[in-house]
Amino acid sequence: MELELKNIVKNFGEKEVLRDVSLTAQSGHAVGLLGRNGAGKTTTIRIIMGVFFPDSGSVEIDGKPIKRSELQIGYLPEERGLYPKQLISTQLIYLAQLRGMSKNDAKKSCDKWLERISMSQYKNSKLETLSKGNQQKIQLAATLMCNPQIVILDEPFSGLDPVNAKLLKDIIKEMIDLGSIVFFSSHQMNYIEEFCEKIDILNGGKIVLDGKIDDIKRSYPRNKISISSPQSKKIASFILEKMSNEVVTAESDKNLSDTITIQLKDPQFKSRLLSELTDKSFDIDCFKVCEPSLNDIFVQYTEAKI
């Protein structure tokens, strides 16, 4: 299954919120939907869900207009929306029924998911009696109870301790393996890199970067090499002397005492650099190309509003 947004435009009064937004997502893959606050992420999510409708453009499944009555969309919002004074099982079953499940199936799914998230003992407790992290887990159960084909997760790790974060990671990976389309919106770039093969960055209501993370990173100049070695200072001196015509700088890493960064005049000199170090039999722990972090890329494309 492929979900496609085509040339979406959305205005609220005179305010242009989305400008010609197009993106695709496929079953069994996660897409990182990124952007600063106010970039248009939430409006895009709500259009996918059918809460808002675009002024122009379309949302399609496998090339045909989306029929939301024929599929399930699970949405975990950044601002949680369950009822604090209601029993957990009561509201989970109620919400599942609103999404088309029979009462009997809703009860079975409730029990299944409460067990999956290790919360069965709180089945007949009020939501307000739980910690913030455990409330988050209940919200996750509400999101996934109806076996959604499209899962939208907005800052899903907020408030979770490391143990519960690992549980959520496992569940997200299961959803991807089962063939769900997963949209992942977060400012925690480490999670985006862990789950998402592809990203779409919104800025000023338009897509300013779209593609696979690996391809995006490889599009940057690959002339910086990081070398970790207990002989790092000796290596730096050797390289500056041996390859003075090919090397721009050889500097120590400010944060890692045994690491140096070599900037080459041209990426093609990587092989010679490695060969020179190998021939000299230096003790090298790591030799790698310095790629920009996803955080660096995000800042580059969102620092100024376009």
Q: Write out the DSSP string of 267-306.
A: GGGHHHHHHHHHHTT---SEEEE-PPPHHHHHHHHHSS--
- From CA 258, how far away is CA 158, in angstroms rounded? 35
The CATH class given to the 221-290 domain equals alpha beta
Token look-up 């995006």 returns 216
Q: Please check whether the two domains, 2-217 and 221-290, share a CATH topology.
A: no
* Residue 161 pLDDT grade (very low, low, confident, very high; cuts 50, 70, 90): confident
How do residues 249-289 score in pLDDT, each as one tens digit? 888 877 777 898 989 999 889 899 989 888 888 889 999 99
- pLDDT digits 0-9 by tens, 233-244: 888 899 888 888
Which CATH topology does 2-217 take? Answer: Rossmann fold (3.40.50)
pLDDT at 303 over 90: no
- For residue 146, the 8-state DSSP code is T
Q: Mean pLDDT over residues 9-31, rounded?
A: 94
The mean per-residue pLDDT over the stretch 85-89 comes to 94
- Break the chain into its structural domains and give their ranges: 2-217, 221-290
pLDDT at 111: 95
Question: Order of strands, edge to edge, in the sheet holding 224-228?
Answer: 247-252, 259-264, 224-228, 286-289
Q: How far apart are CA 32 and CA 28, in angstroms?
A: 14
Band the pLDDT of 305: cuts 50, 70, 90.
low
Q: Residue 50: what pLDDT?
A: 92
User: DSSP letter string over 208-241?
Assistant: EEEEEHHHHHHTS---EEEEE-TTHHHHHHHHHH
Token reading at 107: 């009860």
Does residue 80 register a pLDDT over 80? Answer: no
Residue 208, both tokens:
């300013």
Please name which of 293, 268, 291 lies closest in space to residue 218, comparing C-alpha atoms. Answer: 291
The stretch 64-91 carries a mean pLDDT of 89
What pTM, to 2 d.p., does this model score?
0.83
What is the pLDDT confidence band of residue 186, given thresholds at 50, 70 and 90?
confident
